[in-house]
Amino acid sequence: MDTMTQALPEGFVLTLTDAAATEVHKFLAAEDVQKETAGLRISVLPGGCSGFKYSLNIEDKPADDDMTSELNGVRVIVDAFSAQYLSGITIDYVTSMQGSGFTFNNPNATGGCGCGSSFTA
């Protein structure tokens, strides 16, 4: 890990459920990335139908100004902009008759839409 990369701030809480961690491990195994540095980037981007949208990506390594933490056996990578919107969030992976995918439960969101991956803060 780069020396500039720092841990997530004290008081920052992010939960990655067992089901979500299992799916992330599958994605990491399928990618050609270094296990020592690779991780799951969790970010918030402007856009979506409510103002912000969640993004999940497998990254080779964190950038120098990223924050990282180990959650449920997964290295999580978060940038400073996204961190302000992600504290308290729970990321899960659900399977239903409508399909399978990651879900986001954000107690800080003041609104959202039917798609489940867009929110207002």
- Determine the Cα–Cα distance for residues 110 and 69; give it in Å rounded to an integer: 26
Give the domain extent around 82: 6-108
Q: Which residues pair with 120 in a beta bridge?
A: 111
Q: Domain tally for the chain? A: 1
Residue 91 contacts residue 17 (beta carbons within 8 Å) = yes
Is residue 119 domain-resident? no
For 37-88, write each residue's pLDDT tens digit.
999 999 998 876 667 888 999 999 999 999 999 999 999 999 999 998 898 9
Residue 98 is assigned to a structural domain of this protein: yes
Q: What is the pTM of this model?
A: 0.81
Closest CA to 45 of 31, 55, 36, 59: 55
Residue 46: CB partners within 8 Å, gap ≥ 6? 52, 53
